[in-house]
């Protein structure tokens, strides 16, 4: 697998890596953690209202969301081809290079 792109979005709450193999494109995506202060719904709303990102450059290794919702849909093709463990290992290695912490 050749790494094509690695990036994240603090506004959308995702980190992702795009891979290419034999002309096919694969993606692995995970959820970023919300800032601690977002546990308070009023504070969370204030941050969003004021245009402040509620996510931080961190992925919870115990709950990365890789097999749920949007991430699960995005990751399905790569996981079927290479297996979840291999994809996760390569993904975490690549996102660490751009400053994402895995905790």
CA-nearest of 100, 15, 2, 9 to 66 is 15
End-to-end CA distance of the chain: 25
Domain ranges of the chain: 2-102
pLDDT band at 21 (very low <50, low <70, confident <90, very high): very high
pLDDT band at 37 (very low <50, low <70, confident <90, very high): confident
Average pLDDT over residues 8-27: 95
CA separation, residue 42 to residues 2, 56, 86, 91 (Å): 43, 18, 40, 34
Cα–Cα distance between 34 and 76 in angstroms, integer? 24
* CB burial readout 58-70, b (16+ within 10 A) else e: bbeeeebbbeeee
Per-residue confidence (pLDDT) for residue 4, from 0 to 100 = 95
């Amino acid at each position: 697998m050749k790494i094509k792109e690695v990036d994240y979005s603090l506004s959308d709450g995702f980190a992702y890596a795009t891979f290419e193999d034999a002309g096919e494109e694969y993606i692995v995506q995970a959820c970023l953690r919300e800032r601690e202060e977002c546990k308070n719904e009023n504070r969370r709303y204030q941050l969003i209202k004021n245009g402040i990102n509620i996510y931080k450059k961190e992925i919870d290794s115990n709950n990365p969301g890789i097999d749920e919702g949007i991430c699960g849909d995005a990751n399905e093709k790569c996981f079927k081809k290479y297996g979840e463990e291999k994809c996760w290992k390569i993904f975490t290695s690549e996102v660490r290079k751009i400053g994402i912490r895995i905790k």
